[in-house]
Amino acid sequence: MAHYQGHICQCLPRLLTLKRDSPLTIAGDRRKTGRQFVEDVLAFSTGLSEFGVRPGDVIAIAALNSDWYIEWLLAITFVGGIAAPLNYRWSLEEARLAIELVSPVMLVVDESCSSWALELQESCDMPSIRMHVLIGDATPKFRNNQSVLRMDYIRRSWQGPPTADPLLAPKGIAIICFTSGTTGKPKGVAISHTALIVQSLAKLAIVGYTEEDVYLHTAPLCHIGGISSCMAMLMAGGCHVVLPKFCPKSSIQAIEQHNVTSLITVPTMIADLISYISSRSSSWEGGTRVSKILNGGGSLSVELLSNAIHVFPHAKIVSAYGMTECCSSLTFITLPNPNCEKSRILTSDNHNLKSDHIYQQPGGVCVGKAAPHVEIRISTNDQASSFSPSIGKILTRGLHVMIGYWKDTSGNLLHSNENGWLDTGDIGWLDENGNLWLIGREKGLIKSGGENVYPEEVEAILAQHPGISNVAVVGIPDIRLSEKVVACISMRESWHWLDEISGHSPGQNELSSKLLQKFCRQMNLTGFKIPKKFFWWKKSFPLTTTGKLKRDDVRQEVISNMQIALSKL
């Protein structure tokens, strides 16, 4: 008997029986029941088959979020195709590199990406693309319109039963997600149907999504976080409220209008939502209906968590740690209420964390326990360490791990050759309660005086200072220490930087290098980890399209500014 593999479209028969009188998807003025949604997916899949899409063919899609986007993702995979979501914020060159990598047979775009799609079409250097398709109701703006298909032209009437078996691509690949990477060409992460299914089931079990949920799409569907949560909600059968992209005003309006119960965020989104609510003259009551918030992309500061609980008083806030190569979340933690004395997390020695520090300590950030389908272990170099338990590389194994990087033959996917363990590139430790503590990225390691310093650990401490709104820690060359730890800080409004050369005594709401070094010592940060110098960063930190800090760019600017300052002496 042949081994049967899962498929993300196996949720479709169930959706036919749900939401008979209420919408499964809401996108602007469009509302679709479960049956209407499934019929549209099958209509697209029929059209794709008639246009020659076969199992293993890649279809790239670049568009803002919409109900159509979700239907395309499912329709592509239903016929055995592989969906390759492109970031709508990419430049022409970034899109070109990604398309060259995956060689799609079809490029599907909406108006937000039609400008660079037009240039790609006219350049004639993408021979794999046989068809261009425009999502939405707009008239194509391509000059060679006869080769651009309207979305409606793809649809065909579905003739088969709604329970027909969907097809699988080779190796069971469902999607290719691109890593943002701070440098170099994009990498395509090949993710299987099985990985998406087990990830969805973990979110259903831990976050608690149900058929009664109204889920607001705040994350872009070109990122694994947005895709995996979308799939989880499809399996739960909840209602999808789809915004083209995140905007604090439209998100708050959607929460109020549609009685949203669930959403996912990253820290900057939470901050923007809180800021917008605070600026409104009218009272805010919509947050009382929100019962589940899944946070990813970084930990929430104590202040941000406290404000989020105030705005969404009945929400269970779950933070997740993960990566694209692992189909989103590896670990989950339900965050404690910093305003509640009974809400604590246990450390490895069973001592309660102080309520004002929550889950951020000098030993890293607690990111919770592994999901049910995830194995995690720590790999060390077996050198003597003053820290117990040992700090090392975070490795993971399980059905959630990617098939591999698309067209990658380097063979460096797995750690050593130890039975499929994937090296996450992160450093951390496991406490006796099974909680994973994240210290930082191995790539960002600073070697100072023979000691290892992880920037994220220092940043987590400094971020707790009331005068700091953002911080980036880097290592710069130093003759004596090899690398010197420096911190670049953004200050909150009403705070001022004190020039210590002036001899002026520090007043209230003033910061200086000495004051911040004292703060680090008070927070029990080890001496060699305390930044030797602090810089006042007066602009936004450089970020990738997924919101990750471009640490190398910060480092180079610090070095450049120091060289300029020395030249003026």
Measured distance CA(473)–CA(463) in Å, rounded: 11
Measured distance CA(518)–CA(133) in Å, rounded: 59
Q: pLDDT (tens digit, 0 to 9) for every residue of the chain, 569 residues total?
A: 345 689 999 999 999 988 778 999 999 999 999 999 999 999 999 999 999 999 999 999 999 999 999 999 999 999 999 999 999 888 888 888 899 999 999 999 998 887 788 787 777 678 899 988 999 876 656 555 556 788 888 888 776 666 678 999 999 999 999 986 544 578 899 999 999 999 999 999 999 999 999 999 999 999 999 999 999 999 999 999 999 999 999 999 999 999 999 999 988 899 899 999 988 877 788 889 999 999 998 778 788 899 999 999 999 999 999 999 999 999 999 998 776 654 444 333 333 333 334 455 556 789 999 999 999 999 886 543 444 568 889 999 999 999 999 987 554 444 444 578 999 989 899 998 999 998 888 888 888 887 888 898 899 889 889 999 999 999 998 878 888 999 999 998 889 888 765 556 666 788 999 999 999 999 888 888 999 999 999 898 988 766 678 888 899 898 888 777 666 55
Query: For residue 452, which phi and psi values (nearest 5 degrees)?
Result: -90, 130
- Angle of helix 34-50 relative to helix 67-78, nearest 10 degrees, comes to 50
Measured distance CA(288)–CA(313) in Å, rounded: 6
User: Which residues, including other chains, have CB under 8 Å from residue 558's CB and lie 6 or more apart?
Assistant: 474, 476, 486, 488, 535
Assess contact for 226 and 220: CB atoms under 8 A: yes
SS3 label, residue 265: strand
User: Which residues, including other chains, have CB under 8 Å from residue 164's CB and lie 6 or more apart?
Assistant: none
| pLDDT score at 181 | 52
User: Which residues, including other chains, have CB under 8 Å from residue 220's CB and lie 6 or more apart?
Assistant: 64, 65, 87, 88, 226, 245, 246
Assess contact for 326 and 402: CB atoms under 8 A: yes
Residue type (1 letter), 410: S
Assess contact for 103 and 77: CB atoms under 8 A: no
| pLDDT score at 561 | 82
Assess contact for 201 and 229: CB atoms under 8 A: no
Provide the H-helix boundaries in 155-285.
193-206, 224-236, 248-258, 267-279
- The number of CA neighbours under 13 Å toward the Cβ of 555 is 17
Measured distance CA(294)–CA(348) in Å, rounded: 25
Assess contact for 174 and 399: CB atoms under 8 A: no
The residue assigned the tokens 């999901």 is: 371
Closest CA to 459 of 291, 330, 298: 298
Measured distance CA(450)–CA(276) in Å, rounded: 46
Closest CA to 458 of 486, 437, 483: 486
DSSP string for residues in 278-315: HH-SS---GGGG--EEEE-SSPPPHHHHHHHHHHSTT-
Assess contact for 32 and 213: CB atoms under 8 A: no
Assess contact for 39 and 67: CB atoms under 8 A: no
Assess contact for 270 and 241: CB atoms under 8 A: no
Locate 539 and state its tokens.
Answer: 């602009």
Residues present in the chain in total? 569
| pLDDT score at 78 | 96
SS3 content of the chain, % helix, strand, coil (to 5): 30, 25, 40
Q: Are strands 316-323 and 292-295 parallel, antiparallel or unpaired?
A: parallel
| pLDDT score at 550 | 86
The gap from C-alpha 242 to its chain's centroid, in whole angstroms, comes to: 18
Measured distance CA(522)–CA(356) in Å, rounded: 13
Measured distance CA(355)–CA(345) in Å, rounded: 9
Please give the domain boundaries of the chain with CATH numbers for all domains.
8-311 (3.40.50.12780), 446-567 (3.30.300.30)
370 burial via Cβ count (<10 Å: 0-12, 13-18, 19+): buried
Assess contact for 328 and 199: CB atoms under 8 A: yes
SS3 label, residue 465: coil
Residue type (1 letter), 162: P
**Beta carbons within 10 angstroms of residue 413's beta carbon:** 15
Locate 259 and state its tokens.
Answer: 């009685």
Instruction: Please report, for residues 89, 98, 307, the alpha-carbon distance to residue 113 in angstroms, rounded to integers and kept in the order given.
Output: 8, 14, 36
DSSP string for residues in 306-367: HHHHHHSTT-EEEEEEEEGGGTEEEEEEEPP-TT-TT---B-TTSPBPPTTTTTEETTEEEE
Residue type (1 letter), 484: K
| pLDDT score at 216 | 98
Closest CA to 49 of 211, 179, 158, 186: 158
Measured distance CA(391)–CA(380) in Å, rounded: 7
Instruction: Please report, for residues 368, 434, 451, 483, the alpha-carbon distance to residue 429 in angstroms, rounded to integers and kept in the order given.
Output: 11, 10, 17, 24
DSSP string for residues in 11-66: GHHHHHTS-SSS-SEEETTEEE-HHHHHHHHHHHHHHHHHTT--TT-EEEEE----
Positive or negative: CA dihedral 120, 124, 129, 135: positive
